[in-house]
Amino acid sequence: MQKDVAVVTIKGVMPTANGCAIFLGNDEKTFVIYVDNSVGSAIQMTLNGVKKDRPLTHDLIGSIFLGLGATLEHVIVNDARDGTYFARILLRMENELGRKLVELDARPSDSIVLALQQKKPIYVARPVFDTVEDMTEILERVLKQQSENPGDDETS
């Protein structure tokens, strides 16, 4: 499977006028997926290890997986059409009835939160990764600007 996919990590989470930009990438390239504010916040809280008083939706889903004996194996951003990304979550279930792999259709944003929470890999299908625009330089510029002007991003 490794030749068919690229392993990516979260390189940055940036607020935008309509939500958040999630920069995903590796040493080869970085690309962006736009998500709504609530999922962007969930990704940022997970990255920062923020403890929550009450479980959020993604925490609940993780608890449901645990209760059902399901383990998240990985997530994969498997398609992109007209600026919309698609993802799949791969679960491994093992119980008294046997072992089973379950593949679920999911939004990449939700998939990313779950993968981060469970410390599991995030893959991007090679055809998707090869066609996305490389945003590495833009991310580096934004991060440099933020480090030179701390606090500016909080006022916008």
Domain count for the chain: 1
Contact by Cβ (8 Å): 11, 30: yes
CA distance 3 to 125: 9
Provide the percentage of residues in the chain whose pLDDT is more than 70.
94
Its domain, for residue 14, covers 5-155
The CATH number that applies at residue 36 is: 3.10.690.10
Residue 99: both structure tokens together: 């072992």
pLDDT 10s digits, 53-82: 888 888 889 889 988 889 999 999 999 999
- Round to whole Å and give the CA distance between 63 and 82: 34
3-state DSSP of the chain: CCCCEEEEEEEEEEEECCEEEEEEECCCCEEEEEECHHHHHHHHHHHHCCCCCCCCHHHHHHHHHHHHCEEEEEEEEEEEECCEEEEEEEEEEEECCEEEEEEEEECHHHHHHHHHHHCCCEEEEHHHHHHCCCCHHHHHHHHHHHHHCCCHHHHC
Residue 11 banded pLDDT, cuts 50, 70, 90: very high
pTM of the model: 0.86
Q: For a pLDDT cut of 90, what percent of the chain falls above it?
A: 65
Q: Which of 7-11, 52-56, 152-156 has the lowest mean pLDDT?
A: 152-156
What pLDDT does 2 receive?
A: 66
125 has pLDDT over 80: yes
> Is there a contact between 42 and 56 (Cβ–Cβ < 8 Å)?
yes
Q: What is the pLDDT of residue 115?
A: 96
The pLDDT of residue 108 is 96
